[in-house]
Amino acid sequence: MTVTPEGTRRESRPVDFINASSLLSEEERAIRDAVREFVDREVIPVAADHWDRAAFPFDLLSGVGELGLMGGTFSEEYGCAGWNNVAYGLAIAELARGSGSLSTFLHVQSGLAMAAIHELGSEEQKLRWLPGMAKCEKIGCFGLTEPEAGSDPGSLTTTAAEKDGGYVLNGEKKWIGNASFSDVAVIWARTEDDKLTGFLVEGDNPGFHAEVLPRKASQRAAWQTHVRLEDCHVPEDARLPGARGLGSTLSVLTHSRYGVGWDGLGQAMDCYEVALAYAKEREQFGQPIASFQLVQQKLVEMVNEISLSQLLSIHVGRLKDAGELDPATVSMFKMNNVAKARRIAATARDVLGGNGILLDYRVMEHMADIEGVYTYEGTRDVNTLIVGQAITGHRAFSPRPPQRAEEKRE
């Protein structure tokens, strides 16, 4: 029996084997369901086509902006929804369920650019940018990574020299999402006193150039770019006053990393939901493949891991709401949910057999998209090292060989 892509989507209820929804308030469930409804109606029908053509879904932006997701936890005085972190996370998971490209756009716009302005910006900067960004009328990006500075952003070499009462930025950034159509870029650069500092660079600045990275095999409908800053002049008030040193980038990354943890959960949920529906309908050897023990084992492993991730996600969100979430817990959260999602996507792909590699069934898209998520916001290795340091007290980021006795004497 042929199972069509539409056939895998007849039911649209979030997978919830252990009734994790019972831990949610009515408002949190309503926010989740509203995003789910939007994603089913607007995103899923067009996502595979956008992905295939590597076309950014500009048409969806106003609808996404209406949902309240962007800067969802920031207050209404900045035009944001003022949700709690659990509601924000549930909404991200639903968006990621529909498209890992669109959720990546969200992590850049909301998790990084808006969060940097909200946490580190002046009141004027917040009032100028956040309301438009919340509605996706203004687009932002976040330029930290460089061609030679990835996991180790402290080694970045972009410079900001003081000139004429402002700054001149020079350097290169790699992997910067949204930068080719951004109104504002948060750019991290080293000032003359060797401090990492954040600047707001407007997209039409003649010294700001962004080129989309071609031939990408993950998150094809989101655009990452190579940015060149060539004698890019910005005024003094373009500096984010709260951005001094690497620590200030890390506080923003912690917020974004939190959202990315929920992204892994959302993509895993979609893979499981599609695989379960497919297995119930697809018949081989005269019976639905869902009746075979080996297929059931795969489905059970998926739902088991998803259930644990759901509990962890809600707990981490509650900690964040209580102001008790530390960076190492966020690292463990991101690492867990995304690594599990990676396995779940591969298993779901297997359950769909040959159809699993057809884009219209969406599982292969998630499988490829999760590879990008696995790397950004700290690779699994980097997050492991953060957790390792938290539990042992030893920092193992750049192990040096033990000094030999004769070297010590010299």
Ligand X SMILES: Cc1cc2nc3c(=O)[nH]c(=O)nc-3n(C[C@H](O)[C@H](O)[C@H](O)COP(=O)(O)OP(=O)(O)OC[C@H]3O[C@@H](n4cnc5c(N)ncnc54)[C@H](O)[C@@H]3O)c2cc1C
Residue numbers at the binding site for ligand X (CB under 6 A): 108, 142-145, 150-151, 175-177, 219, 224, 372, 375-376, 379, 381-382, 385, 397-398
| Maximum CA extent, the chain | 78
Nearer to ligand X, 3 or 385 (CB): 385
- Cβ at position 176, least distance to ligand X in Å: 5
Least separation in angstroms between CB 204 and ligand X: 19
Q: Is residue 99 left, alpha or beta, with left meaning phi > 0 and alpha meaning psi from -120 to 50?
A: beta
- Shortest Cβ contact with ligand X: which residue? 150
CA-CA distance, 349 to 358, in Å (whole number)? 10
Strands 196-202, 224-235: pairing is unpaired
Which of 8, 256 has the CB closer to ligand X? 256
Strand partners, 235: 166
Cβ–Cβ < 8 Å for 240, 268: no
How far is residue 116's CA from residue 120's CA, in Å, rounded to a whole number? 6
Distance CA 38, CA 49 (A): 18
Minimum CB separation from ligand X for residue 81, in Å? 23
**β-bridge partners, 361:** none
Residue 64 or 295: the one with the smaller Cβ distance to ligand X is 64
| 195 vs 380 by CB, closer to ligand X | 380
- Please state the closest distance from residue 149 (CB atom) to ligand X, in A: 7
Nearest approach in angstroms of CB 196 to ligand X is 12
Per DSSP, the three-state class of 130 is helix
User: Between residues 14 and 264, which has the closer beta carbon with respect to ligand X?
Assistant: 264
**Alpha carbon distance 323, 69 (integer Å):** 20
To ligand X, the closest distance from the beta carbon of 20 in angstroms equals 28
Contacts of 306 (CB under 8 A, 6+ apart): 15, 17, 265, 268, 269, 272, 340, 344
Nearer to ligand X, 150 or 288 (CB): 150
CB of 351 to ligand X, least distance (A): 26
Give 38 or 262: the residue with its C-beta nearer to ligand X.
262
CA distance 348 to 216: 23
> Minimum distance from CB of 39 to ligand X (Å)?
20
Given the complex with ligand X, which of 63 and 150 has the nearer CB atom? 150
Burial 227-256 (b: 16+ CB within 10 A, else e): bebeebebeeebbbebbbeeebbeebbbbb
- Whichever of 318 and 380 has its CB closer to ligand X, that residue is 380
DSSP alpha helix (H) spans, 282-326? 293-321
Least distance from ligand X to the Cβ atom of residue 253, Å: 9
Which amino acid is present at 248? S
Give residues with Cβ within 8 angstroms of 241, minimum separation 6.
120, 121, 122
Sign of the torsion formed by the C-alpha atoms of 53, 276, 18 and 331: negative
